[in-house]
Amino acid sequence: MRIQQLAYLEKIVEKGSINEASKELFLSQPSLSNAVKDLEAEMGIQILRRHQSGVSLTTEGREFMIYARQILDQVNLLEGKYKAGAPRKQAFSVSAQHYAFVVHAFVELIREVDAAEYQFTLRETETLNILADLTAFKSELGILYLNKFNRQVMEKLFKDSDLEFHPLFTASPHVFVSRDNPLIKQSSVSLEDLADYPYLSYEQGDGDSFYFSEEILSTLHRKRQIKVSDRATIFNLMVGLRGYTISSGIISSELNDDKIVAIPLNVDDPIQLGWLKHRQLELSPLGERYLALLKNHIQGYGFAIEK
């Protein structure tokens, strides 16, 4: 086994395609494919699953990549200390449901990075994509919520995917509305108060199950429903159509303007926010630092961090 083979494999996994990886590595596709096949033959396992849309890691391949990345990181440390040339880029990625506090902590982390080059990725994405990103090691951390409705289904998925969930904090349900919405005159709102307003929620793609919804009470009938894919659009629709969505109640004043207000919702359905990681993966220093920033930000809004 050669270090170069591991570097080739890492690039293929990053791109999800031997063809795309070969372009960045300036190698022919057959040469790169043969390098991986030689590695698989030497290790006695199938590392990559090949399909029409590209490649993905097998179960054994995911475990192999954990050790391969540790080796590559150690090589990078050696080269950075003893070999002239540019060090390996600092890299970190997180996949999450659509929460402003996730973005805020991500911004703070990047501001702290003292490096000429880095590669950071924040994926605000569908719930099932978070699990897929973690199992494929595209992201180091995932952030989502559990409640009494989805907990049993989600915890089974975590177990099946070899993921572990760590609680961050528990929040009471709130609705987000624009400042010109008549509901802001109330100290709290009921579901009946919301009946005539457009309900805004995040779409979940092919996995559009009630259990994967980012909003609690997803099974309730609404007269007017609008699905969106990003936070900017959902905020625009709150302002333009006086729509509402249901969330934890945390709004980042540094990242959003003052047009959105959080109002307590009169339902007994606590929302537990938490972070996910693969059981076989040890958090990197950047991952640990991101979690610390995330917790500090959450505590700044008056929430206690759960053990």
Listed residues 87, 103, 119: the one ending a domain: 87
141 and 4 share a domain? Answer: no
54 and 143 share a domain? Answer: no
| Amino acid in the structure at residue 96 | A
181 and 123 share a domain? Answer: yes
Judged against a pLDDT cut of 90, whether residue 146 lies above it is answered with yes
* b/e code 256-270 from CB counts within 10 Å (16+ = b): beeebbebebeeeee
Which CATH number is 33's domain given? 1.10.10.10
Q: How far apart are CA 141 and CA 103, in angstroms?
A: 13
240 and 299 share a domain? Answer: yes
Judged against a pLDDT cut of 60, whether residue 152 lies above it is answered with yes
Q: What is the pLDDT of residue 83?
A: 65
Q: Which two tokens stand for residue 297?
A: 């930000």
Reference 271, options 154, 184, 150, 124; nearest CA is: 150
**pLDDT tens-digit readout, 194-240:** 999 999 999 887 766 788 999 999 889 999 999 998 888 898 999 99
pTM of structure? 0.73
**pLDDT tens-digit readout, 240-287:** 999 999 998 887 766 555 788 999 999 999 999 999 999 888 888 899
Q: What is the pLDDT of residue 225?
A: 93
191 and 248 share a domain? Answer: yes
127 and 272 share a domain? Answer: yes
61 and 100 share a domain? Answer: no
Judged against a pLDDT cut of 80, whether residue 79 lies above it is answered with no
Judged against a pLDDT cut of 80, whether residue 82 lies above it is answered with no
Judged against a pLDDT cut of 70, whether residue 299 lies above it is answered with yes
239 and 142 share a domain? Answer: yes
Q: What is the pLDDT of residue 142?
A: 97
Least confident range from 76-85, 128-137, 281-290: namely: 76-85
Residues contacting 50, CB < 8 A, separation 6+: none
Q: How far apart are CA 174 and CA 188, in angstroms?
A: 9
In whole angstroms, how large is the CA radius of gyration of the chain?
22
* Overall domain count for the chain: 2
Domain holding 19, by residue range, is 1-87
Q: Which two tokens stand for residue 48?
A: 């990559």
Taking CA atoms, 217 is separated from 30, 70, 143, 272, 285, in Å, by 51, 42, 20, 14, 37
77 and 175 share a domain? Answer: no
Reference 10, options 85, 74, 62; nearest CA is: 62
93 and 41 share a domain? Answer: no
**For residues 276 and 287, is the Cβ–Cβ distance under 8 A?**
no
Alpha-carbon 307 to chain mean position = 21
